[in-house]
Each structure stands twice: as C-alpha cells, then as structure tokens.
Chains A and B, each alone.
Chain A
Amino acid sequence: MPIVWAGEVTPKMKASAFAYARATSVANALELLTAHGEKAKVLSGGQSLLPAMNLRLIAPELVVDISELAELRGVVVKGGVLTIGALTRHVDLLKSPEIAAHAPLLRDAVTHVAHPAIRNRGTIGGSLAQADPASELPACMLTLGATIVVCGPSGERRIAANQFFAGIYETALTPQELLVAVELPVIPKSSTHFFHEFARRHGDYAIVGLAAQALVKDGQFADLRLGFFAVGDRPLLAKSAGKLVDVAVTPAVLAEASSALNDELDPLEDQQATPTMRRHLAKVLLTRCVSSLLARPDLCTGASA
C-alpha cells in the first residue's frame, strides 16, 4: 500500500520545498536547464548541493537530477587522452586501473577527498562545478593540464582548466550548461608526481595542499607543474615553478622560488588558518615536494610545518 508522506519535520536543518526532475538524457537535462536557468540546480552526487540546501544556503526551485545518466560515467583512454565522464564518482577514480596507470596523481589526491561514504556518491563533475578553493580535484586539473568539456544550448565548449575556475564557488559554467567530461593528456611514463595536503583530520578540506607533476632528468627538473589549493579564491598553477626547471637546484635556488611563490599567493582568512599560516605551509609544501621529487633530503632541512 502506498504511504503518503505528510510533510513537515523539524524545519531548521531541512531543505525547503523544490520540484524534482529526473533527467532522462543529456539533451533532456539541457532542455530543463534552458527553460529554468538560474532557478534550477543540477544534482550529481549531491555531496555539496544537499548540505547547502539542508543548511538553507541555497533554495533552488527545481532540482535536475542527472545522477542516473550512465552516458556521463566512466574512464576511457584513447589516442593519448584520458577522458573522465562528469558522473565518475570519487570511488571510481580510486579504483580505476586507467587512472592508476595514466594519472596516478589523481588517485593519490582522491584518497584525501572526504570519507568513504561521501566518495561513494560525490563525482568529479560536481567537485569541479562546485569549485571550492580548498578542494583537491580542481588543483589537479591545473597540474595535469585538463580540458573541461561543457554542453549548453548552443553546443559544446571546451575550456582549459586554467580558464575554468573563476573564484570561490565560481566557474566559467553558465546556469544553462552541463559539465560533461574532463580530458587529460596521458602523462609520459617517466613522469613523477607529489601530492600532499595539511588538514586537521584525514578527509577534511585542506588548510593548504599541493598537487605536483614533474619530469626529472639527470637530477634536474625538465618540467615541473605545481597546483596549489586553499591558497587563494581559486586553485593556483604556480609560475614560480619555472625557477626550478633546467637548473641545478641549490638551497639558494629553492629559496628564490619560495619567495617568488610567496608573491603569487593570496590566501584567505577562515576558521582553519590565517593567511600568514597558509603562506608558511605553502612554502613548506614546496620544499618537501622539490626535495622528494629530486630525491634530495638535504634540501628539506629546516622545512618544518
């Protein structure tokens, strides 16, 4: 016998009323978004959207649930490009042999994203669209030189990761658009990576974090990409990395890169940390990263958090 839910429970931590549409295809989702624009919200894993709705930080009139669209899920490698569907869950990234082989940085990063029960629902598309500056995956997209593939009423747009993140919870997406996939160049076999973040507890949003990818030849960096997160209103691909490429890294060279990094940072103040503390921790991460990737423990002396 069907049961009818009568309505109100304790109101203060509950989402306000909204209409719900289960999208049947990408085209159907786009139609709904075109018709409802800013009044609608896309629901993927719901692990950022639903907390915000429960806290009444947002109250969309329509929730467009795309979570069942199998066409947006999965990881494919083809012609040197790794394509990850927007609905690929954090847990899928963690378990994917393709990710482990071609983007191991991402695998390491995901172990720091929230907790198992949240990773079972949260998706890469949701995480990038959410654009929390303390989030791991957006920084990885900068480091790995990702292209973000977006569909809207006028077709497809391909946006370079460094053009996608526009501020706290802000991206290049319009309310009518759907993030459908990300594309990553397959990294060369000889490439190495480093991932570390400071957080109060495992799974918490980072206080400061670094996702790095490098090519090391004869004890020097032939290439170095440093994606910092929680150091400003959006993830940062540090230009100061350039100071460490094609040179013999000495403590003096590292100190110079560290001071150049300091000039690039624009950390925010919140309950977790002051800007000064974030600057300090970012420099500690830089030192540890360089020391670890070059296998030079001597560079690490004095870099305590």
Chain B
Amino acid sequence: MTAAVAISLSVNGERIEANILPRLNLADFLREHLKLTGTHVGCEHGVCGACTVRVNGDIVRSCLMLAVQTHNATVETIEGLSDSGEIADLQSAFRERNALQCGFCTPGMLMAAQDLLKQSASLDREQIREHLSGNYCRCTGYQAIVDAIETTAQARSGRLP
C-alpha cells in the first residue's frame, strides 16, 4: 500500500514525471530529486519559511505539502523566478541594502516578498513586515530586508526613492 505513486507536474516551466513515495515532501523532492537546492529546509514544520515556493501561483510551505499532491500542478522555485528575471530588481535591491548575510533565509524571503509586491505596489513597512511574519532571518534583524522590499515597491510603481 505504501507503494510509489506516479506524478506529472511542471517545475519552472519544465515537465517532470516521477515515481515517488507518498511520505516524500515537496521540499525534499525539489532538493534531493530535482537538485533544485535553492529551496532551503530549516524547521520542516512550517515555522521558518525557508522552504517557500509557488504552487499554481500561490506561495506555500514546501515542507508542508506532499510531493504527490503536486500531480498536475505548476511549481515555481527560486531558481525559476531568478532565471526568468522576474525578481532581478528585488534581488539587486537585496544586494544593495545588505538584506542578506548568510543567505539561508533569502530564497524564502524573496518568494514571500515577490508575492506581496505582485498584490500591491503601494506598500507600507507594516504591511511588508506582516507579509514576512512567517519568514525567519537569524542574521539581518529584518530592517534591511524591509528596506529592500520598500525600495523595490517604490521603483516598480514609478515612485523612485
């Protein structure tokens, strides 16, 4: 009964077919199976946000989704967002503002930040902090991360700082 299950999904625009055990979560599938190691694994119970990816356009915790549940789904990881140039401005704002140190939280931060930036271009710091409330950073103290997202929001809405 605990046999492997066949799944077919799109990951960063590429069709993937796989046979996997039900217990395998999406984060491990991406990292160990597809070698997409930009998705980080911190707590594995939904608390840290390092494993955040997009499934069918919504950000989710990849540690809290079974890989078998992504059958027929569209999954986008940090590699996809980065390679397509979708978040190039956000990434460079992170660099300029020193919004990363060790970088462990960064893929998840960028995923969550881009999710917010897509919903609204006029953001205040409180909204940014609330949207990132589920993403831990052990290094930066968050201030620089909020700065970088605020700058990107302003630039995207044509209100250059």
- Residue ranges of A at the interface with B (Cβ–Cβ < 8 Å): 1-5, 7, 9, 13-20, 22, 43, 46-47, 50-51, 54-55, 61-63, 65, 67, 91, 114-118, 120-121, 201-203
Contacts and interface: CB of A to CB of B under 8 A. Distances in A.
Contacts of A7: 21
Nearest to A202: B133
Contact-size category for B: 35 or more
A1 B112 contact: no
B25 interface: yes
Contact of A5 (B1, B2, B29, B135): B29
Given A2-B18, A17-B2, A19-B1, A46 B65 contact: yes
Interface string B1-44: 11111100000000001111111110011001100000000001
B31 to A, nearest CB: 9
B63 interface: yes
7 pairs of A and B residues whose beta carbons are closest in the complex: A115-B134, A20-B22, A19-B1, A51-B45, A13-B44, A120-B58, A5-B20
Nearest to B7: A2
Given A50-B65, A62-B1, A203-B133, A2 B6 contact: yes
A13 B64 CA distance: 12
Interface in B52-68: 52, 58-61, 63-66, 68
Nearest to A4: B19
Nearest to A68: B69
B28 A9 contact: yes
Contact of B134 (A19, A67, A114): A114
Contact of A2 (B17, B112, B130): B17
Given A3-B17, A4-B19, A13-B45, 12 more contacts: A5-B32, A18-B22, A43-B66, A46-B65, A47-B46, A50-B45, A62-B1, A65-B69, A114-B46, A115-B133, A117-B58, A120-B60
